[in-house]
Each structure stands twice: as C-alpha cells, then as structure tokens.
Amino acid sequence: VVQSPNFFGCLEHVAAAAQAAHQTRALMIAVVTEAISLGCCRSPGEQGADIVAGEGQSLGVPVSFGGPYLGVFATRQEYLRQMPGRLVGQAYDHEGRRGFVLTLSTREQHIRRERATSNICTNQGLIMLMATIYLATMGRRGLQEVAWQNWQKAAYAADQIARLKGYQLRFTGPRFNEFVVTTRRPVAETLEQLQPKKIVGGLALDRFYPDLKDCLLVCVTEMMPRAEIDRFVAALDEV
C-alpha cells in the first residue's frame, strides 16, 4: 500500500512500488488523499497500481468541519466483480438516448442487506453528486489548471520560506500542495505568534512524529493568492 502524495506532501515512486509488488505476485494498492494531484501527475493505474482508493473532498466538496465527504475507488477489469458498492455504467435505450444504469449488480445487493456489499445512504449520494458536477464543470483542462496552480504556488511558498534565516525544507524531491519546514523557534511558539496576525501557520508534526518536533507541515492551494503567500512568509521572518 503506497500513499502519494504522502502525509508530508511528497510524491512517492508508485511505479517502483508496483513493480516490486508484482515480482512477489502481490497486488499493489495506491492511496490518493489529494485527488486534485491527478490533474498533473500520472494516474496510479498508469504506474501499475491494481487497486486505487482515495479521498474526494477536494473535488468541489466543502470542508464542513470534517464531513461528510466521499471516497474514490477504482480497480482493474479483472477485479471488477469483487468491488464493493454499486457500479454505474453507460447505456443507450432503443431510441439511441444515452443513460446511466446500475450494472453488474446481484439481486442480494438490493433485497438482502446482510448479503449486500455496501449501503450508500442519501447523505453520501448528495456529496457524490457535488463531486460529479464539479468534475463535469471543470473538465480535463480545468482540473489540470487547478492542479498546476496548487503545484506552482506550493513550490513558490516553499522556496521563499527556505530563503529565510533559520528555516529549511525537511524533505527534498517533488511534492504537491504540502511541504515540511524546520522552524528556528519551537513550533508551538511560532504558531502562537502567528495567531495575532490572523494566520494559521500549519500543522505541528510532533503530535504524530516525536522526531519531527521542530517541523511544521504547511499547505498551499489554488485558493491562496500570491499576496497572502508573501504575507505568510514575511510573518514567519518576523517571528
């Protein structure tokens, strides 16, 4: 199981992991917690993943204090009938009109709850509709544009912060949206001094990784204009 981008925003070598898994006749599962990254990165399927699971919140779904969200799940053709959930396929009626219907679905899925592979409630159905509308509205080009804005703005922010005295990037290599910064003061103190400036500086990593007690996880998306990035960098320099 490989997550890319990972917890620190770094892009993993999914293709290498898939090759290693297949050499031992194991399946490779890719986890994508930031779906927007697929707008500028090779898809897990292209890199050899057999199963893909991910988080779809960034596809037009508000944060909403932690939910509800929706998941993304895909697999190769040979494992299609083993997928949980309800599959929707494209079909045409006798007049040639396109429609979408449930397909490859057993009777137990609808008449026996204890034998069904999943239960989709109305709440998640509405969230799924939101993501569908977002993707249909953005299209391929729109999704690519949003992804590249995420990539470029995060890269700009990381570069500017790394130029500050006492700050440096904890990890090298390609990344998306997020990056880890080593601070010159204790992280808790840095975040506290940013609060009066109405800046949420990032996530202190010591609660998850004690050996990263001096590290801060910073996230930059397409929603942050360059002026806000510059203000954040200037505030870090002041504290």
Cα 142 to the chain's mean position, in Å?
Answer: 17
- Specify the residue for token string 């910073």: 218
Angle subtended by helix axes 226-238 and 187-194, to nearest 10: 120
Give 206-218 pLDDT, tens digit per residue: 999 999 999 999 9
Q: Which position has the token pair 């993707």?
A: 135
For 119-148, write each residue's pLDDT tens digit: 666 677 889 899 999 999 999 999 999 999
What is the rounded average pLDDT for all residues in the chain? Answer: 91
Domain check: are 51 and 107 in the same one?
Answer: no
- Residue 93's pLDDT is 92
The residue range of the domain holding 47 is 2-85+121-138
Residues 38 and 134 in one domain: yes
Which CATH number does the domain housing residue 65 bear?
3.40.640.10
Residue with tokens 């922010």: 157
Are both 220 and 160 inside the same structural domain? Answer: yes
* pTM given for the model: 0.84
73 and 92 fall within a common domain: no
Quick: pLDDT tens for 144-191: 999 999 999 999 999 999 999 999 999 988 999 999 999 999 999 999
Residues 17-46: what's their mean pLDDT? 95
**Number of domains forming the structure of the chain:** 3
- Measured in residues, the chain has a length of 239
234 and 147, same domain (yes or no):
yes
Q: Residue 106: is its pLDDT beyond 70?
A: no
* 56 and 95 inside one domain: no
**Claim to verify: residue 158 and residue 133 sit in the same structural domain:** no
What is the rounded distance in angstroms from the CA atom of residue 27 to the CA atom of residue 1?
A: 9
For residue 61, with 0-12 CB atoms within 10 Å meaning exposed, 13-18 middle and 19 or more buried, which class applies? Answer: buried
